[in-house]
Structure 1
Amino acid sequence: MRDFSSFFEECERAPRLNELASFFAATAAGQSGYPVKQPQVDRRLLGEDRLLEVFIRLHEQRRGPFDQHYHASIPYRLEEECRLGHAILRYAEDMPGTLNLYSLGTAEGTMARTISELAEGRVESLSCSPNVENHHSFMAYGDPPHATFFLGPFHHLRGDLLRSRADLAKFSSGFDIILEDTTFQMYSPNRSDQIEFVSQHLKNDGLFIFVEKFKSPDVDEYQRRELQKDHGFKARFFEPTDITAKKTTVLTVMNQSEVTLAEMTLAVNHCFQHCFATWNSGNFYTLLASNSLPNIERFMAGLIGPAIPGEYVYADIPCRT
């Protein structure tokens, strides 16, 4: 087995656990970064589907303070979360046994918890966050029987811990789906080691979903999309001073750990044979990777069309990366 000790040391020094820690704690507690109005799902973009509507309704009831900030910050990320949650539920319906889902660094773990509640035993989910405030939000609606929360950063979740802790042992055989939700970009640009480490927990034919913001070799184009995000979307939910303050305190640090889509593709290809982009919103993308093309095709068959106005989309979706 590879020695990841230097990688773990790198993670411990990361912005997410140091200079950005106070931002995440205050936002997760609802003390700052809260939008002036709560983002709501635009159902016109998602179409009609009974399972999807049930997911949206429960998801609305389970959201916490960080969810409100996050979904108000990225154009139509809320609709994408519902789209992915619906697709995972559809994918689980065809599984011969229980689907194991790992939602990596997704604040309160709302999407994973919602999936597990609706699946009624067909999906065992694990969410993780280093913020106790997110754990409090997760537990605010009771301790769900099929959704687990690991209080700690993603690099603390290692194989020996999965095997030794009673509440985590059910995941020791690996995950069928892992979702990394804008987490790696808060630690470092070292996607190769990040993906390789987390992929140890994925089954051989499992799916790895990445939602990330990517930098661009065209700086002007990157900034143009940022301006569109800030003034065309975020301005609906935040005061101009709040948008400027976040750029200064958070985004300038986070941008240093972003990679280009081409660099991400190279890192993904070290571990996986297939990778597709399934969603785009300005500088943000959803990528779906696996060594099993049939499983990718099965997942994408249950994935409804991207729920986002065309002016925010800069890629032909879906496409191979």
Structure 2
Amino acid sequence: MQDINEFITECDLGPRLNQLAGFFSETAAGKSGVPARKPVVDTRLLPNDALLHRLIELHSRRQGHFDQHYHGSIPYRLEEECRMTHALLRYAQLSSSDVTLYSLGTAEGTMARTLSELSRGKIQSLSCSPNEENYRCFMAFGEPPHAHFFLGPFHRLTKDYLRSEKNLEQFSAGFDFILEDTTFQMYSPNRPKQIEFVAHHLKDDGILLFVEKFRAVDPHDYGGRESQKDFGFKTRYFGVEEIQRKTTVVLSTMHDCEVTLAEMANAIYAYFRYCVVTWNSGNFYGLAASNSEENLRRYLSLMVYPAIPAEYVYEPEPYTELAKWVSG
């Protein structure tokens, strides 16, 4: 890995903590980017499952300002978050020991907190964000006994720091799951170094989950999917002026930090033997990577079918092995 100090400096100088800092602060505080109505799960797209409905209800009650903006911005991302939460809960139910989750850069940590609460501590979670506004939303319902929060950017969380904090020391041995949720794309396109840095927090048989926006090989494809997202979905929650404002303020900057799926595959397979596409919504994809084929297959087998209309799904479709798609 490049010198750790060089990587830290690269992240410190990234858009997330500089050009985009104001956007994230104002959105997390509910001062801008507020949807016209709160996004709700379309339960018609999900199975009638008691556990799933319980987590949907709790997840809705725990959301803060940024989550509502986020889920109103990406088609059916809310349904996918609940699908992932459901699979992780079922995974923990089948585990003989506690399951640890690190959800990095995920605003107020709604998903991680929901998992820790519903599992009654069977899932021990850690969320992180550099925004105090997100931390305040996380704490708005009281300090949860099994969900923790690191107030800082992902690249400032080290194993030494975990060992030094009594309430976080349990995580220094590594996590069973790590979720990178549209975080890397806010810092730089340096996926090899970002993945290497985060993967050192993962157990040898752990699973690293990604949700990212990717560049398309053909710019026309990328633009078409963006228009579908903006005018087929986002207009349910935001006016055209707000959609254009975000495109100007955020998305043009973020685009410079995006990579293609093929570039992502090269970065992932440098550290993991297996990687499967779990979800797609236009230019956004979900991926699951691991060096344990058994654990990865167990997690995938517990996921209900993706809750998204077919017109938003492109190649490679869910459950495609990323290596086969790239080589094909």
Same fold by TM-score greater than 0.5? yes
Q: Classify the secondary structure of the residue corresponding to 1:257.
A: coil
Q: Which residue of 1 aligns with 2:234?
A: 234
Q: Which residue of 2 aligns with 1:301?
A: 301
Q: Which residue of 2 aligns with 1:218?
A: 218
In 2: Cα distance, 1:200 partner to 1:234 partner: 36
Runs of 4+ residues over 3 Å off in structure 1: none
Q: Which residue of 2 aligns with 1:139?
A: 139
TM-score (norm 2): 0.97
Q: Classify the secondary structure of the residue corresponding to 1:83.
A: helix
In 1: Cα distance, 2:3 partner to 2:10 partner: 13
In 2: Cα distance, 1:197 partner to 1:18 partner: 21
AA aligned to 1:50 is A
Q: Which residue of 1 aligns with 2:152?
A: 152
**Structure 2 matches for 1:284-299, cutoff 5 A?**
284-299=284-299
In 2: Cα distance, 1:94 partner to 1:269 partner: 28
Q: Which residue of 2 aligns with 1:91?
A: 91
In 1: Cα distance, 2:184 partner to 2:318 partner: 23
Q: Classify the secondary structure of the residue corresponding to 2:137.
A: helix
Offset at residue 94 of structure 1 (A)? 1.6
Offset at residue 317 of structure 1 (A)? 1.7
AA aligned to 1:277 is V
AA aligned to 1:320 is E
In 2: Cα distance, 1:130 partner to 1:222 partner: 30
Asked if residue 319 in structure 1 is aligned to residue 320 in structure 2, the reply is yes
**Structure 2 matches for 1:1-321, cutoff 5 A?**
3-315=3-315, 316-321=317-322
Contact 2:2–2:193 under 8 Å retained in 1: no
Encode CA deviations 1:269-291: one digit per residue, 9 max, x unaligned: 01100000010000000000000
In 1: Cα distance, 2:250 partner to 2:286 partner: 22
In 1: Cα distance, 2:192 partner to 2:19 partner: 23
Encode CA deviations 1:247-297: one digit per residue, 9 max, x unaligned: 000000000000000000000001100000010000000000000011011
AA aligned to 2:4 is F
In 1: Cα distance, 2:214 partner to 2:272 partner: 19
In 2: Cα distance, 1:32 partner to 1:320 partner: 39
Offset at residue 50 of structure 1 (A)? 0.8
In 1: Cα distance, 2:167 partner to 2:276 partner: 33
Q: Classify the secondary structure of the residue corresponding to 1:96.
A: coil
In 2: Cα distance, 1:166 partner to 1:31 partner: 35
Q: Classify the secondary structure of the residue corresponding to 2:173.
A: coil
AA aligned to 2:160 is D
Offset at residue 3 of structure 1 (A)? 3.7
In 2: Cα distance, 1:124 partner to 1:317 partner: 28
Contact 2:89–2:119 under 8 Å retained in 1: yes
In 1: Cα distance, 2:11 partner to 2:167 partner: 24
The alignment yields a C-alpha RMSD, in angstroms, of 0.8
Q: Classify the secondary structure of the residue corresponding to 2:35.
A: coil
In 1: Cα distance, 2:51 partner to 2:29 partner: 31
Consecutive unaligned residues of structure 2, counting only runs of 5 or more, are: 323-328
In 2: Cα distance, 1:95 partner to 1:171 partner: 17
Offset at residue 2 of structure 1 (A)? 7.1
Encode CA deviations 1:178-212: one digit per residue, 9 max, x unaligned: 00000000000000000000000000000000000
Offset at residue 217 of structure 1 (A)? 1.4
Consecutive unaligned residues of structure 1, counting only runs of 5 or more, are: none
How many residue pairs were aligned? Answer: 321
Offset at residue 4 of structure 1 (A)? 1.2
In 1: Cα distance, 2:98 partner to 2:4 partner: 30
TM-score (norm 1): 0.99
